[in-house]
Every structure is written in C-alpha cells, then in structure tokens.
A and B are shown apart, each in its own frame.
Chain A
Amino acid sequence: MKHIKTLNTRDFKKSMKNGGCGECQTSCQSACKTSCTVGNQTCEKAKK
C-alpha cells in the first residue's frame, strides 16, 4: 500500500479460538506490583 503501513500484530479474533490456556505469566509477577500490564507479556501456549 502507498498510504498505509500495517504493523505485524496478533489477530485478537483468531486468538478467541486458540487462546485461553492460562500458561502465561501472571502480570504482577514480572516487575510492577502496582499496575496491571498484560500487553507486554508473551504467549506461552507452545512453551510448556
């Protein structure tokens, strides 16, 4: 495209079908302890 550059992002709608396994880190265990940040977390579905 000439006018638009789309960044590579995860398709949220598709993730409804194959997500929700719960193996990902609990958000507060990383560093924060005073806020909730999930956008920076990595999906761990395939890492078990």
Chain B
Amino acid sequence: MLHQYRSNGYNIVMDVNSGSIHVVDDVVYDLIELLDSVKGEKNIRNAVSEDLIETLPYEELEDVFSNLLTRYSDEQLREAYDEVCELISQDILFSDDVYEDFVIDFKKRKTVVKALCLHISHDCNLACRYCFAEEGKYHQSRRELMSYEVGKQALDFLVANSGNRHNLEVDFFGGEPLMNFEVVKQLVGYGRSIEEKYDKKFRFTLTTNGVLLNDEILEFANKEMSNLVLSIDGRKEVHDLMRPFRGGQGSYDAIVDKLKKAADSRDQMNYYVRGTFTRNNLDFSEDVKHLAELGFEQISIEPVVAEPTEDYAIREEDIPVILEQYDRLALYLLDRKKRGEGVNFFHFMIDLSGGPCVAKRLSGCGSGTEYLAVTPTGELYPCHQFVGKSEFKLGDVYIGVTNTKVQDEFKLCNVYAKEKCRDCFAKFYCSGGCAANSYNFSGDINGAYDIGCELQKKRVEAAIMMKAAEADMQIDK
C-alpha cells in the first residue's frame, strides 16, 4: 500500500507496509502514482524469492507511460523509472503486507500487565466542562479517594501479574490526584520498597491540573515522577471558558505560574503541558503558540472527544479548519526549530528510525490486557475511559480479572480486526486508534471514530513532512 501527498513543497511517498518514506521530485511522484493505478493489470513487482524482487523492463510499460510524455521527456522518465525499480527491488516500494497472521498470533500470546492508571482521586477541584470523568465522579454518584490499602494492593497486583516485564508504569490520575497527595507519597514509597525484591522498576507519572502544586509537591514529583502531565488549554480566555473552578471563575491565573515553575524545575524535560481544544477554539494553533511563548517546550494540545450533542464537540464540518490549523502549526514549529527555539508538539512527534517494532504498531494500545485502570475502591477496567461503565468492569485488585469475556475482546483487538483500518495508511502510527473512542462513537471497540481518524491521518502527514524538512535542515548545516 502506498500513500502519496504534497505538503510544504515536499512530495512524499509512504510505502506503508515497509515503513519506508521517500521524498521525491515531480516526475517520480507522478510516475509512482501512475504505477500504483495500473499495478492490478501490470505485474510491476515480481517476488522471485525472499531476497529477489524483479521489476518490469521500461519497454513493457511504454504504453502506460505515454500519458506522462506530455509533461516529461522519455529520458527523464527512464531515469526516474530506474530509481523507482531500485526501491522496488529493495522491497521499500510496493512492498507486501505480511503482518496479519503474525499480529493475530502475537495478540494470542499470554499477556502481562505492565501499566496501571491509578484513579487515586475521584474528586476534583475544577469543573472542566469537557471532562469525560464528569468532574471526577466517573458516572458514579459518590466522590471518592483511593485508600493506601487499595493502592498498595493495586501495586501488588501489578507486580504479581507483570511476568518478566521489568519496567512497570503507574499513572496517578483522577479527578485531581493532588487531592489525595499523602496516599500518592505513601504508594510511591511502597513501590520503591519492593523494586529490588521483585527486580522491577516503577515509572510513576502524575496528571494534574496544577491548582494544588506547591514546592513540597514539586520537589517530590521531581524526585519520583518520570513524567508530569500538567493541564492547561492555552490562551487565558480559552482555558477559563472550559476549565473553571466549581464556583465558575477561571483557573488560568491560579495555575499558569505554577506550571511554568514546574516545567523549569524539570529543565523543560519529562513533562507535558497538556490541553484540549474544542469547537470554541478551532484556531488552536494559537494556543500552542501561546504555550510556546510562555516558555513551555513540551506541549500537547489535543482535540476534545465529546458527545456530538455538546455545543463544544468537534463536528465533521470543522475538519477542514482543523487540518489547516495542523498545517499552520507544522510551519510554525519548523520555523522555531530553524531559529534554534524548537518545541515538541506531542502529536507531531514521530520516531522514524528508533520507533516501535511492528508488533507494537499493529497490536493496539494494550487497554484491557497490558494496561488497566483501577478505581478508588480497587475495581479494574480496561482503561480510564471505560471506568464507571459497569459492563466493562473486569474484576478488582484483590481477586484479579474475572470478566475474561470482555478481556478477550480487548486481547484480540488489533488493526486487522478493524475493518476501517485495513486500508488506512496511518495504521502503523496510531495502532488502530483508541478503543474507548471507537466504542463511544460506533458502539464497538473494533469500530472507528471517523473524525478522530481524519485528524490522526493529518497529524501523521504533518509529522512526516516535518521530518523531511528537518532532514533538509541537517543538510543545510
């Protein structure tokens, strides 16, 4: 499968199955497009053996190429075709999809639990309008804090079910985790105390709105938290509209300096300022700029996921505006990089050479198997977004997973189980998307959230274009 697009002056050809990315000139771009359109009729790629792929001689395609002779000379086309054949014979163009059986077998393996989202507090001091956790309550009537005993049992459950996995991830999540900071501290202490005994390493992370951040908490977080996620939406008016206190007043002024201090105290690494954009601020590239100009270097601004009936929900008609914003944002970020003032935008980060193996890329996020959410009372759910949906309750930290029927559905969830993903060029980058979004919008964890897919595809394109541009910058240096 190929995917071709033009962006910011670059002609990009993605050979989806091999993961190869080619930046090409106009003649090759048009030639590949033509070859792709006729590959059903012409056997342009003939795999003789695992190591030998033959291509058709130019002469056998002359009738096909005649369309291009109005734009390019015969000599240009022959030269371009030679180079295209070189890629085909290296199996980095028109390569086959050989992964389906492999991934299905891989998904059937015995899995271990490697990450927990610990809902340390089902309570919050803000009343964010878009909160999927319903201001911390998660569809439940009571506000609750996790006790040390439940948290300790959760860590024991994680260790006991983690097999040979060395790195264990625990995210303190909410609601607002700092409303239960003493238990966070105790649990980190407990985790550290059992690392050596079980040959494990806990990577703790904390997601907070920053309201309660102070020097003591920051010192602790900088010592113990491998990542901090700090919530801020961008410009003050944007933030305050969606992230008010319970009394209705905006929270921007109460948190912005605290977050800046937190980011600086971590040397601008191992954290994200993380915001949400909605229909109210479709010009969200301005919010990323605002955060960059405040001095933040690790930024994530993500589209809201909301019921279509909400006035702030992103609608299909908003997609073109959002795509244009991603283009604009990519240019802004490249410009900063050229000036030596680069910032990371989480959704444009892409690791082309050292990224995950294909098993990881195709097997999904691990929700329900490798990744579980734990409620304040110790119930287990496939992930934080399923918490409170009783039909998805998997068990609890005392008896473990008992709802194996639901777990098995998650276990087999992968790109090839999702009809809409099969022919999508972005499948190796999003891994089939978010199961919760799929469920919420299509009623099936193997369905798709179409708006989310359109935005994801654009982000992959933008991220790859930026890599092409950055490769040029290296050459310029």
Contacts and interface: CB of A to CB of B under 8 A. Distances in A.
B431 A36 contact: yes
A41 to B, nearest CB: 5
Nearest to B228: A31
B83 A15 contact: no
B255 interface: no
Using C-beta atoms within 8 Å of the partner chain, give the interface range for chain B.
35 or more
A1 B19 CA distance: 19
A27 B471 contact: no
Using C-beta atoms within 8 Å of the partner chain, give the interface range for chain A.
35 or more
A3 B27 contact: yes
Nearest to B384: A33
Residue among A11, A32, A35 with most chain B CB within 10 A: A35
B236 interface: no
A31 B272 contact: yes
B333 to A, nearest CB: 14
B3 interface: no
A23 B106 contact: no
B225 to A, nearest CB: 12
A9 B352 contact: yes
Interface string A1-29: 11111111111110110111011111111
A22 B353 CA distance: 18
A32 B428 contact: no
Interface in B372-398: 383-385
Interface in B14-59: 17-25, 27-28
A26 B357 contact: no
B284 to A, nearest CB: 14
B24 A4 contact: yes
Contact of B351 (A6, A30, A34, A41): A41
A36 B430 contact: yes
A26 B360 CA distance: 10
B17 A32 contact: no
B64 interface: no
Given A26-B371, A27-B431, A9 B357 contact: no
B471 A5 contact: yes
Given A12-B18, A26-B114, A48-B167, A43 B355 contact: yes
Contacts of A10: 19, 352-355, 357
Given A26-B114, A36-B433, A12 B80 contact: no
Contacts of B431: 27, 36, 38
Contacts of B112: 22
B364 interface: yes
Interface stretch (B84-92, B181-189, B259-267, B287-295): B84-92
A40 B84 CA distance: 28
Interface stretch (B213-221, B403-411, B460-468): B460-468
A6 to B, nearest CB: 5
Interface of B: 17-25, 27-28, 79-80, 83-84, 86-87, 91-92, 95, 98-99, 102, 106, 112, 114-115, 117, 132, 165-167, 169, 171, 173, 203, 205, 207, 227, 229, 272, 274, 276, 300, 302-303, 305, 346-347, 349-361, 364-367, 370-371, 383-385, 428-435, 437, 452, 456, 460, 463-464, 467-468, 471
30 contacts: A2-B79, A3-B83, A6-B22, A7-B467, A12-B428, A15-B357, A15-B359, A16-B98, A16-B102, A23-B165, A24-B360, A26-B169, A26-B365, A27-B365, A29-B203, A29-B205, A34-B303, A35-B437, A35-B456, A36-B430, A36-B432, A38-B360, A38-B361, A39-B430, A39-B463, A40-B350, A40-B355, A41-B355, A43-B355, A43-B360
Q: Which are the 8 A-B pairs with shortest beta-carbon distances?
A: A19-B357, A39-B429, A15-B357, A20-B359, A40-B349, A26-B115, A12-B19, A31-B272
Given A3-B28, A26-B365, A40-B463, 20 more contacts: A5-B22, A6-B22, A12-B18, A13-B95, A15-B359, A16-B98, A25-B203, A26-B370, A29-B115, A29-B227, A30-B346, A32-B300, A35-B303, A35-B434, A35-B456, A36-B430, A36-B432, A39-B429, A39-B460, A43-B357
